[in-house]
Amino acid sequence: MIADIEGLYSTSSHAIRDPEFFKDCKGIKIFPRVEAVGINRKERKLNIRYLDDDRKEEMAYDKLVIATGATPFRPPIPGADLPRVFTVSNLHSAQDIKEILAKGQAAKAVVIGAGAIGIEMAEALTDLWGVETTIIEMADQVLPAALGKHVSKIAENQLEENGVKVILSERVLRINGHPKSGVTSVETSVDSPEGVLDCDLVVMSAGVRPNTKFAAEAGLAVGSSGALLVDRCMRTTDPHIYAGGDCVELRNLVSGENMTMPLGSLANRQGRIIANNIHGRASQFKGTVGTFCIKVFDMGIATAGLTATQAKANGFDPIHAIVAQHDRAHFYPDSQMMFITLIADAKTRKILGIEAVGHQGDAIKARVDAIAPLFQTGLDVDDVCVLETGYAPPYASAMDIINNAGNVLDNILEKRNIPIDVMDFLKKFKAKKIRVLDVREEKEAIPLIEKYNDSWICIPHPELRTRLNEVPKDEPLCLLCGTGARSYECQIMLAQNGFTNTKNLQGGAAMLGAAAPEFT
């Protein structure tokens, strides 16, 4: 955790980034508390207003750079303007929240929205300050814009395991409280006492909107999101005006569509492109694949490209593989299980997206970072199967999980591996529409045999070939092993012997335990 708020605006050498720092070290003059209110493009002048005395001036420019960022969206919920209802928009908001928490004035908090900011706030409130925290999200999963259902379910479980209550598919109807003393509760659409959540603090994290009103009023083109349209040189529709950061739309290099991607990492890269072009060096920012990572308590999550839902909405025919494997060599002392979802287009085999989750965040980020730069080259499944990565037991397996994910997806596309996802399996199993054939050792299967009786059959992998007569042939079977590899081999063997009504559980018992721990 950050010890104090100054750490967020100081350099690695502990210099505070204030106006004097920029003047002395960078040769840049900063005008604090001055607002840009309009652009006279014909005369190349910026209209500004001094906030302290409302004085107005014009400032001439040769080249203008718009980097006005974005503002958190405050949903029109009754009570949203009450004291102690915050959006995390800047350091001042963070400081105000910290002061309330440091004084012990908040015992219960509600976070509206399970995006990245909402999850990070929930973790800070719970883990750092011991505040009883609830997240309310109107989508049916956490991180709905970044993840598919399977990785998001693991993230949801991680939040719950660390004391954060997660309420999905729910809307906030109103925030109750007093105009002076502040918020007292949040009401949802649940028609019961559970629909009223007592709280002392509300954090709204319902996304952001680009700050482009004054630029749009000057006639600069904006996209469907309201963000400024720029070319690859980061120029707006006025050749003398550039823009970058959270206030611009970027080309998604996977879908080809425009999108906003409010990340500081992208803004930094765009800043260099803009500076190069202003000083006569032709440079281009081609676009983004939406690479994203987040820490959720002691778990790391990273993603790039499109989710399966986004891919389908963009006209692709997405198909995916889910792989569970150790992030180091399995025999290495600190190796831990990680999970990767790899998504491709069924027709072209083009890779569309990757999602990774596990407890060693650096290993998670490294796998996604290996794939992300290759999206713009038209990476396909075969490329992933043979992708060269570094190997040493402390860092990876000889067959890296990235290569394994490519191999599994290749097997699925070639219809050798007939998969079933955890969520689909759970629905069918609970409805008694499928039985399990567990090919692990019997000692691993015994607890589940005792729990699910005849619905759970165990025939260990080495014995299956000689015990085929014990395998039900007239009903659907879900094949299960530790991670999905042995059960795939068993599926091939069974198919060769006329058993064609089988599904291989993606990610095996490891994925089942991560996504549905109560089941196992």
Question: In this predicted model, what pLDDT tens digit does every residue of 383-438 receive, in sequence order?
Answer: 999 999 999 999 999 999 999 999 999 999 999 999 999 999 999 999 999 999 99
pLDDT at site 4: 67
Same domain, yes or no, for 232 and 330?
no
Same domain, 282 and 337: no
Decide if pLDDT at 45 tops 70: yes
Q: Assess if residue 234 is contained within a domain.
A: yes
Q: Report the 10 Å Cβ neighbour count for 191.
A: 7
**pLDDT of 479:** 98
Query: Does 66 map to a domain?
Result: no
- pLDDT for 190: 79
Of 413, 433, 455, which residue is a domain's last? 413
Regarding whether 193 and 259 lie in a shared domain, the answer is: no
DSSP state, residue 363: H
Residue 466: both structure tokens together: 């000689």
Strands 351-358 and 337-345: antiparallel
Note down the domain range covering 343.
292-413
292 versus 376: the higher-pLDDT residue is: 292
One domain for residues 324 and 406: yes
Residue 264 is assigned to a structural domain of this protein = yes
pLDDT at 332: 87
Distance CA 449, CA 464 (A): 17
Residues 203 and 90 in one domain: yes
Do 262 and 176 belong to one domain?
no
* 89 and 204 part of one domain: yes
Same domain, 274 and 308: no
> 421 φ, ψ to 5°?
-80, 160
Residue 481 belongs to a domain with what CATH number? Answer: 3.40.250.10
Position 169 in a domain: yes
Provide mean pLDDT across the span 74-95. 88
Residue 433, domain member (yes or no): yes
**Claim to verify: residue 258 and residue 347 sit in the same structural domain:** no
Distances (CA, A) of 8 to 11, 15, 78, 264: 8, 11, 33, 13
What confidence score (pLDDT) does residue 376 get? 85
Query: What are 311-370's pLDDT values in tens digits?
Result: 999 999 999 999 999 999 988 888 999 999 999 999 999 999 999 999 999 999 999 999
For residue 408, what is the domain's CATH number? 3.50.50.60
pLDDT tier, 2 (very low <50, low <70, confident <90, very high otherwise)? low
Q: Tell me the C-alpha distance between 261 and 291, whole Å.
A: 9
Assess whether 346 and 436 both reside in one domain. no
26 in a domain, yes or no?
no
Structure tokens at 347: 């027709």
Mean pLDDT for 203-208 is 92
Residue 463, domain member (yes or no): yes
365 Cβ neighbours under 8 A, 6+ residues apart:
293, 300, 302
- pLDDT confidence of residue 9: 77
Last residue of a domain, one of 288, 322, 342: 288
Average pLDDT, the chain: 94
**pLDDT for residue 66 is more than 70:** yes
My answer on whether 159 and 245 are in the same domain is: no
Whole-structure pTM value: 0.92
What is the pLDDT, as a whole number, of residue 192?
66
| Same domain membership, residue 320 and residue 255 | no
Among the three residues 413, 430, 460, which one is the final residue of a domain in this structure? 413
- Vertex 436, ends 433 and 438: CA angle to 5°? 175
Q: How many domains does the chain have?
A: 4
Separation between Cα atoms, residue 137 and residue 303, nearest integer Å = 20
Alpha-carbon torsion, ordered 374, 379, 381, 385, to 10 deg: -50
Give which of 355, 460, 341, 337 is closest to 406, Cα–Cα: 341
Structure token pair of residue 431: 């409805």
Q: Is residue 306 situated within a structural domain? A: yes
**Cα(484)–Cα(490) distance, rounded to whole angstroms?**
10
Position 296 pLDDT exceeds 60: yes
